[in-house]
Amino acid sequence: MQRKFINNLIFIVFLNILVKPFWILGIDVAVQNRVGADEYGLYYSVFSFSILLNIILDFGITNYNNRNIAQHAHMLRRYFSGIFNVKLILAMVYMLATLLFGLIVGYEGRVFWLLLILGVNQVLASMILYLRSNISGLHLFKTEGILSIMDRVFMIVLCSVLLWSSSFGENFVIEWFVYAQFWAYLITGLVAFVLVYGQAKFFRMKIDLKLFRVILKQSLPFALLVLLMSFYYRLDGVMIERMLPDGRMQAGIYAKSYKLFEGFNMFGYLFAGLLLPIFSRMIKLNESISKLLKTAFNLVFIPSVAAAVVCVLYSQEIMAILFEDQILEAAEIFPVLMISFVGIALTYIYGTLLTANGSLKQLNIVSLIGVAVNFGTNWVVIPKYGAYGAAVATLATQAFVIFAQIILTKKIFKLQYEFSFILKHSAIVILGVGTAIFSKNYVSDFRIHGILILGFFAVSSILFGLIKKEDVLKLLKRG
């Protein structure tokens, strides 16, 4: 399982490195620069709002289905039609609830129209995730990896035409960005549907009420988890825009840093997509997860710390390369978010393991406290510190969540705290941070220094035996 995990991880990371950095740095950043902080802030806050009720769309079905298909692949034929039709019903409920909620909080006119289209996009994105969960549940990870970038590829093509062609470029508006998302999601969804149908060999448009009740009952804990996580991930953008006099502008500044930070999170999400079905199957077969857990931790923790160190040291330089205005304000927020990125990256390992194990009650308790921490901190700090306060709230929330998940994992799986393992990682972090700060004055080009920092962390992890040299050589030969 460990070899399978690593081999597929290399393939999927390679695909995402080819596509998603260009999407974020080339397209998303270009859109932010073209429309300005105020317009993009409007989009970002409405987009965040459209995610808050995602629980209705998914109801925990995607994670439930991924875990279930990984353990019982033969059930795909029955579950495919049943769950797909259930999700169509949930999509209608979600749209009605989201639009009603939007009217209640005061969305109208152009803002309401944006919410409508973004809501439809959320429906399509949720359906794609469900279809992909079938593919990954069958352990067809390479196919799932291609699907994971397909929507971004289509968006890159569409947005490139809209941004830089002579016919559209000068008149670009944020609505076009939303429409491009719609068409990209729609095409990807159709492709994913055909692929899953090819595996199931059966589909009918009929509501299976018995299966509907079973799925909703069994996926309820997953649904609550998705709801709580949506709130503590997305409340900040909505609260900034609603609580501050210059809310749109502040949300736009926050989005500059958050979108880049979110781009790093995509790679953590890749780990979760691979680990959930693998952990699920290993747990069913009573196999030890200890070795795979350590491998995943090593592959996530050291790179995330290295990336955070570079971004903290050079936040202003990075923002200056990407954006045209509000650079200093965004550069103040970005380091705080990148420190919290380390915690989020690790939740993709520990949270995924706990999900695979069915430890939903414990995860929901942790997430509920996380929502309270996030909302309470945002409520206090946003009026005083604006967007920077929201970043601090994110850091506080993620720190609590990851420490709680690690403690739960050790307790549930009866894993020991290995002093040598902790000491090695602590030593690498201390040495890496110290070396990065000390050497900053001796390397004039921050890009070269950033590469050297990343290299130092990589070499250190090999020297400390966290990533063995022979394993690296084997992977390179196999790659």
The average pLDDT across 280-303 equals 83
**pLDDT tens, 187-245?**
999 998 888 887 777 667 766 677 677 777 777 777 777 777 777 777 787 888 888 88
Nearest to 139 by CA among 215, 194, 199: 199
CA distances 117 to 50, 66, 72, 163, 359, Å, are: 10, 28, 36, 20, 35
For residue 167, the 8-state DSSP code is T
In the chain, DSSP finds a helix count (H) and a strand count (E) of 18, 0
**pLDDT tens, 411-469?**
898 888 778 888 988 899 999 999 999 998 888 888 899 999 999 998 888 888 777 65
Predicted confidence (pLDDT) at residue 478 exceeds the cutoff of 50:
no
Give the model's confidence band at 83: pLDDT under 50 very low, under 70 low, under 90 confident, else very high.
Answer: confident
* pLDDT at residue number 287: 84
- Average pLDDT of the chain? 82
* pLDDT at residue number 477: 41
106 versus 170: the higher-pLDDT residue is 106
**pLDDT tens, 118-152?**
999 999 998 998 888 778 777 676 777 778 788 88
Rounded to 10 degrees, the C-alpha dihedral 410/217/204/146 comes to -20
CA distances 313 to 339, 439, 446, 456, 477, Å, are: 11, 11, 9, 15, 35
Predicted confidence (pLDDT) at residue 171 exceeds the cutoff of 90:
no
* pLDDT at residue number 459: 87
* pLDDT at residue number 309: 93
The angle subtended at Cα 122 by Cα 117 and Cα 123, nearest 5°, is: 95
Return the axis-axis angle of helices 360-385 and 209-243, rounded to nearest 10°: 20
The average pLDDT across 404-417 equals 89
Question: Within 10 Å of residue 29's Cβ, how many Cβ atoms?
Answer: 19
Q: pTM for the full model?
A: 0.70
**pLDDT tens, 10-51?**
566 666 666 777 777 778 888 888 888 888 888 888 888 888
223 versus 352: the higher-pLDDT residue is 352
434 versus 248: the higher-pLDDT residue is 434
Give the model's confidence band at 9: pLDDT under 50 very low, under 70 low, under 90 confident, else very high.
Answer: low
